[in-house]
Amino acid sequence: MAGRVRSWLGAVMGLCLICATPSYASAEPVTIFAAASLKPALDQIAARAAENPDGVQLRLSYAGSSALARQIQYGAPAQLFISANSDWMDVLDQQGLLNPGSRVDLLGNRLVLIAAPGISGDKPLAATLRELPDNAHLAMGLIRAVPAGIYGREALETLDVWTDVQTRVVQGDNVRTALRLVASGEAEYGIVYATDPGPDAKVQVVDVFPDNSHTPIRYPLAMIGAPTPLTQQVYDFLRSDSARDVFQAHGFIPLEPEQ
């Protein structure tokens, strides 16, 4: 318990670093485009930053990484982007839209199979998927665009169950949509990140997909275009030990070293 308290105190102190410069109080908010799976953690970071009268305002836009990357391509005013996979960040990098040298792998995650309440999960993962009831559905992100859907299909193919489940798949525009479909009972099973099912998610985690069944899950962070001093400050904070504590408390795997 004492360690957890110290961890949260560290997070609060780190957030105060963003809030401590009065000259930024009237500045425009820093806009962060972020993968939908980051919402609980980044909402907490933004709320704490805004509590201070002199604090920076973070404008957060959540969606599937593919949708966000396309918006950036069309000139959307994002200053920071956190993708849920490397491919979409690669696209922006190749088009010269990232600030050179600002791209880093910030976080990692794992993939899990979830089920609606009341559904038992006492079989091995592959057997559970191969033997889905006739009327069961499997909720996923878009398998050709949303990172969680891409990772999920890779895992299903590696486990040699894709042909068994592909006609049962219900695709959503981001991973949180897949979570909601299972939580509401519209789909019996779903594939989401390990960080998605929170205490109020009304779903149960059936099993964790082996790490070697899919491409490693990485969340790259980068600045879009030339940074302002405030953008640089927020970028540095997102890589700091204090932010790591917040992300880790939400189940993410920090990949960046302490700053």
Cα 251 from chain centroid (whole Å): 10
Average confidence (pLDDT) over 72-83: 96
Share of the chain above pLDDT 70, in %: 85
CATH top class, domain 111-213: alpha beta
C-alpha neighbours within 13 Å on the C-beta side of residue 30: 32
What mean pLDDT value characterizes the chain?
86
Inter-CA distances, 114 with 73, 78, 253, Å = 34, 33, 20
DSSP character string of 209-228: --GGGSPPPEEEEEEBSSPP
Domain ranges, ordered by start, for the chain: 2-108+217-254, 111-213
CATH topology identical between 2-108+217-254 and 111-213: yes
At the second CATH level, the architecture of 2-108+217-254 is 3-Layer(aba) Sandwich (3.40)
Residue-wise pLDDT for 131-178, tens only, equals 998 899 999 999 999 999 999 999 999 999 999 999 999 999 999 999
Q: Over 90: is that where the pLDDT of 124 sits?
A: no
Cα 71 from chain centroid (whole Å): 18
47 burial level (CB within 10 Å; 0-12, 13-18, 19+)? exposed
Q: Over 80: is that where the pLDDT of 237 sits?
A: yes
Residue-wise pLDDT for 89-99, tens only, equals 999 999 999 99
Max mean pLDDT range (5-14, 114-123, 153-162, 193-202): 153-162
